[in-house]
A and B are shown apart, each in its own frame.
Chain A
Amino acid sequence: MNELSWFVVRRLFQGLVVVLTVTAIVFVVTRLIGDPVAIMLPLDATEAQRETLRRALGLDQPVYLQFIDFLRSLFALDFGESYWQHRPNIDIIRERLPATFQLVGAGMLLAVVLALPLGTVAAMYPGRLPDRITSALSLVGLSVPLFWLGLILIYVFAAQLRILPSSGPGTFVHLVLPAVTLALPSAGRLAMLVRSSLIDELNAPYVKTAVAKGLPLWRILGVHTYVNAAVPTLTMIGWEVTRSLAGHTIIVETVFAWPGLGLAAIQAIQREDLLLLQAIVFVVALMVVVINLALDLVYKFIDPRISV
């Protein structure tokens, strides 16, 4: 087996450990929050009914057996049945995932498209007007609370100008406001990072060599400094995607009634649908692990010095 496959295997194993840890925490927390039987049955249920359900859910077993059972079903993608919708949780997740992917995909793409040119221009003229404007904009972007930004955008573009719908699923125009809301703070953070990485790289000695070789500016910037700034930038993009999936989408999807996983999580909490919530947390953790594994592979591809 070559070096790279070992690397992948090791990373997969590490990812598995992360997923197991998250799962264990979720398992414990759900059992601490309350007795599922008490939540699932009406208040006037008899002790016999409770006992039956407890047995059906396996809650009469010792805790470690319950955990193993829980794991086994998770890896079979069996997340149990939603108490709220009375259908398999996996179906709900399948239904909700595309909307979240659309939102995060569009939002992050927009963030990158905004941040790269802004950060680059700022880095080329540090301390000068383009840099000041970019830095000010970035600061505003990254310090505005998401829900507030969402509400302001709704107020301006939906309520006042009436050019974009404020909420709901469906067409591309419905995606615009939530994606912009998700993108702007990320774009601010990303632009600042691109700026500082590029400023560092532009001062690196290899840039002197590139200039001395008479290379055109586009090649010095677009090839020489970008490959060197790529690892920190991709790390940041990965971090933004992770944060969107595991947090920001909950806010944005709620503000815009965007029917994704984040909204499902909020609804599950409101309806005390612990199994559904558990399933969502598991799926998100899995995605985060996959994203990080993919990034590690990309880093190795960009920087051959990274040892595995």
Chain B
Amino acid sequence: MTPPVPTPWLEVDDLWIEFVTRRGIVPAVRGVSFAIGPGESLGLVGESGSGKTVIAQTIMGLLQSPGRVKRGAVRWQGKPLRFGDRFPRDDVRGHDISIVFQDALAALNPLLPVGTQITEVLTRRFSLSPKTAKERAVELLALVGIPEPRERVRNYPHEFSGGMRQRAMIAIALACEPKLLIADEPTTALDVTIQAQIIYLLRDLQQRLGLSLLFITHDLGVIAALCDRVAVCYSGKIVETGPAEQIFARPAHPYTQGLLQSSAARDDGRDRLLGIDGTPPDLLALPPGCAFAPRCFRADAACNAAVPPLAGVGVDHAAACIHPLVGAEAVR
């Protein structure tokens, strides 16, 4: 007997997002779908410019003109979410879903104490009294591992170190007691040891609070420690998706393999992109076939003829590739 499929909390369904620019309409996200269930963690990985931030911000309702959702839906517990308002407010964003941004220094208001930036969520969300809210803010800072939280609530963002600032950002995101936390490259701006601490903190929080997690990164290696599932994004499309261990053990898409190799190279201290030469295509001049074909060592005429759809390559594992890596080829 197969276990019942849990109803996903977040569903991103055939999402198309474009930016109207002077040079033309940039199709930044092209038919992305994924789902995240209760307590599940999904890693969204891809090179810079592949559309990860645009997806995250659209889920949060933060997509700003000139960006617009061309097609598709984002649903929370089955309910479609709205986009396109300049100051969107509903009972999902900032209630059930919250977000941690890459650059905490920019994302925090420089002129308000960190405590205020937490308590304003608490008073809005739970109608706490100022005093209770302050106590709760101290608890939240303690929860994310900030030492001397009682003193720190009064500090301003610039008085925190980079790592502590990102912890404070996480505390703010947790203040509304979300069910899903989106983390958009939360460690990219930090140095390696601090990165590891933040990853560890997120994993710990996820387990303790039963959070679902959408973790966005350009470094596949980071995902291994954190995510159940992986979705690999290339030029606005998901090119491979599957359980994390399968993706790591048997990547099917040559692009995923390249990402794995470059992540391994980073770990060895060889700081260059192994496996992937060249740059992503100009979104205004996409090739007719697979967008990765011009950089792919396996590409042939068929790859350039038509866009390959996502197709199953294993249990719960799919890749958008005409010539997926199989068997020994997939070993990195």
Contact = CB atoms under 8 A, between A and B. Distances in A.
A214 B112 contact: no
A205 B103 contact: yes
B124 interface: yes
Given A213-B120, A214-B95, A223-B112, A205 B101 contact: yes
Interface string B114-140: 000000110011000000000000000
Nearest to B109: A206
B285 interface: no
Q: Which of the four size classes fits the interface of chain B? A: 20 to 34
A214 B62 contact: no
Given A209-B172, A216-B89, A217-B87, A304 B94 contact: no
Interface string A187-227: 00000000000000000111011111111110110011001
Contacts of B93: 212, 214
A267 interface: no
Interface in A246-292: none
B87 A213 contact: no
A41 interface: no
A211 B108 contact: no
A305 interface: yes
A271 B56 CA distance: 73
A69 interface: no
A213 B103 contact: no
B88 interface: yes
A138 B176 CA distance: 42
Contact of B156 (A205, A206, A216, A304): A304
B62 A211 contact: yes
A134 to B, nearest CB: 18
A303 B94 contact: no
A234 to B, nearest CB: 13
Nearest to B156: A304
A206 B106 contact: yes
A144 B125 CA distance: 49
A215 B111 CA distance: 17
Interface string A221-245: 0011001100000000000000000
B66 to A, nearest CB: 13
A127 B102 CA distance: 31
B124 A208 contact: no
Contacts of B95: 214
A227 B109 contact: yes
B60 A212 contact: yes
Q: Which of A209, A210, A220, A302 has the most CB of B within 10 A?
A: A209
Interface in B47-72: 57, 60-62
Nearest to A225: B109
A86 B245 CA distance: 98
Contact of B110 (A212, A213, A223, A305): A305
A209 B101 contact: yes
Contacts of A214: 89, 93-95, 121, 124-125, 176
Nearest to A227: B111
Nearest to A210: B109
Contacts of B101: 205, 208-209
A216 B111 CA distance: 19
Given A213-B94, A214-B125, A219-B120, A302 B111 contact: yes
Given A208-B62, A302-B111, A215 B156 contact: no
A296 B112 CA distance: 19
A228 B94 contact: no
A304 B124 CA distance: 26
A208 B109 CA distance: 10
A277 to B, nearest CB: 43
Contacts of A205: 101, 103, 106-107
Given A205-B103, A208-B62, A220-B87, A213 B121 contact: yes
27 contacts: A204-B106, A206-B108, A206-B109, A208-B101, A208-B107, A209-B107, A209-B108, A209-B109, A211-B88, A212-B61, A213-B94, A213-B121, A213-B172, A213-B175, A214-B93, A214-B94, A214-B121, A214-B124, A214-B125, A214-B176, A216-B124, A217-B87, A217-B89, A220-B87, A223-B112, A227-B111, A228-B109
Interface of A: 204-206, 208-217, 219-220, 223-224, 227-228, 302-305
Given A214-B124, A215-B94, 17 more contacts: A204-B106, A205-B106, A206-B108, A206-B109, A209-B172, A211-B61, A213-B121, A214-B89, A214-B176, A215-B121, A215-B124, A216-B124, A217-B89, A219-B124, A223-B112, A305-B110, A305-B158
Query: Which 8 residue pairs of A and B lie closest in terms of their CB atoms, listed nearest first?
Result: A214-B94, A205-B106, A206-B109, A227-B111, A209-B107, A213-B94, A212-B99, A217-B87
